[in-house]
Amino acid sequence: MDIKTMKMQDVKTRVYDAIEKAKQLQPKLNAVVTFVDVEEQLEALKQIPSDAPLYGIPVVLKDNVNTKGILTTASSRILSNYIPVYDAAICEKLKANGAIIIAKASMDELGMGGTNLSAYSGPVHNPYDTTRISGGSSGGSAVLCAAGVAPLTIGTDTGDSIRKPAAYNGVIGVKPTYGRISRYGIIPYASSLDHVGYFTTTVADAAAALHVLAGRDDRDMTTGNEPVPAYESLINDDIHGKRIAVIDNIIEAVKEEAIVQSFESLLTKLEERGAVIEHVRLNDELLSVLLPTYFIIANAEATANHSNLDGIRFGVREAGESVEEVMINSRTKGFSSNIRKRFVIGSYSLFVENQDKLFRKAQKVRRLIVNEVKAVLDQYDMILTTAAPTIAPHPEDSVDEALSDTYLIAENHMIIGNFTGYPCMTMPCGFVSDMPIGIHMMAKPYCEQELFNIGSAIEAETGLKGITAEVKA
């Protein structure tokens, strides 16, 4: 159900129906970490104009978004008792525009992963086939949107953590321009790569959500000063003459023929609408080092960002005979082995003797990748590719940070959106074996309107506007 349709219902009905649906689906999907008592928010809604964009609309937050007085775990044991004393900037904006926050959604631990198998509360399941993964790290938010619990759910994206789950779950995932939405109050992963974004089931809702969430925030100095347009009212699906670049060496890395055929069919339909489709190539060597470059930068920044999770200042504390022992015990028991591995790698790359040959070299490679992509977008309105090379896999078949050529490029190319900070959106384009598949769009900085315009044309061609999954027993 989209926002417009949901507004036709009584406020309390739609809010409590959403909560009840999430509770009924919880045993099957395991997507919620904490259900939120909404009575205080409903009372506060009386002070909000009834024509507010999100008036009485149930919204779900990823569990790395700080919520005053509400458990916020980032799906990690070390934060399993953490209750923030303030709201994140996006919470303030959502509430000011009438939204009702009903739940905090599961994620990969501290946002570090792409499967949502690592959450302290257990794995999240795909609503189209609960034996398959949701993708991550924003898997819980994606699943709750896809299952029709809430028409707007919040996520964060550091590598493809909104866009991959969106593809796996058949919803729209938006990662706007770096700094378009304030990160104040978001538990970080990697500061130069982190983006706040969201999931919806329609392009119109995606446009309306960005109008609410975007804008300058002096508490986050990375936010931009660019004005925020009324995106939804400006949507124009006339794409005649729009220049769209297809990155051939990304498509060539996709081995699932049905996904390639679906993508090519969409290209034909866009050409029939008047779009100019041209094929280009990026440097193969740069594409092959996307993941290693990301791994070094992200883990180095994560190591610095999470040095405060020590069991002393806040979070779960494990006993010890000294401050040092308390910290060691708290971090050892508080983090999974995968997170500890990432911190070791991050620390190693930040050692003074290693910074030039690892961290700074990775930053230089990142700049080369950014320049390569910028050169393409200097000539085109948008870059269009597949979002994922497969349907959502089963847990035993899922690959996180594999180093084969297929996975280095086809599985991880959306990292480019975080390296560049350019706005990106994934949306469903069809089904393979009864599972959704998606496409990925990237535009120039602050050109989210281009994504919504072309996305609206794609939505019209696919007929997948507003789809949700019927979760089977």
The DSSP call for residue 102 is: E
Length of the chain: 473
Instruction: For 106-152, give the DSSP string.
Output: --SGGG--SSS---TT---EETTEEEEE--SSSHHHHHHHHTTS-SE
Give the end-to-end CA distance of the chain in Å, rounded to a whole number. Answer: 21
Query: How many C-beta neighbours within 10 Å does residue 7 have?
Result: 17
| Element (DSSP H or E) covering residue 429 | strand 424-432
Q: Which of 76, 106, 141, 161 is catalytic?
A: 161
Q: Which two tokens stand for residue 86?
A: 């303030």
357 to 293, 301, 348, 360: CA distances (angstroms): 12, 16, 11, 7
Per-residue b or e along 80-89, where b marks 16 or more CB atoms closer than 10 Å to that residue's CB: bebebeebbb
Instruction: For 158-182, give the DSSP string.
Output: SSSTTHHHHHHHTSEEEE-STTSB-
Distance CA 46, CA 247 (A): 50
Distance CA 107, CA 117 (A): 8
Active site residue 161: yes
Active site residue 118: no
Q: Which of 137, 141, 182, 398 is catalytic?
A: 137
Nearest alpha carbon to residue 185 among 223, 139, 227 = 223
Active site residue 137: yes
- Residue with structure tokens 């961290």? 359
Q: For residue 121, is the peptide bond before it cis, meaning its omega torsion is within 30 degrees of 0?
A: no
Q: Which of 21, 62, 95, 465 is catalytic?
A: 62
Active-site amino acid positions: 62, 137, 161
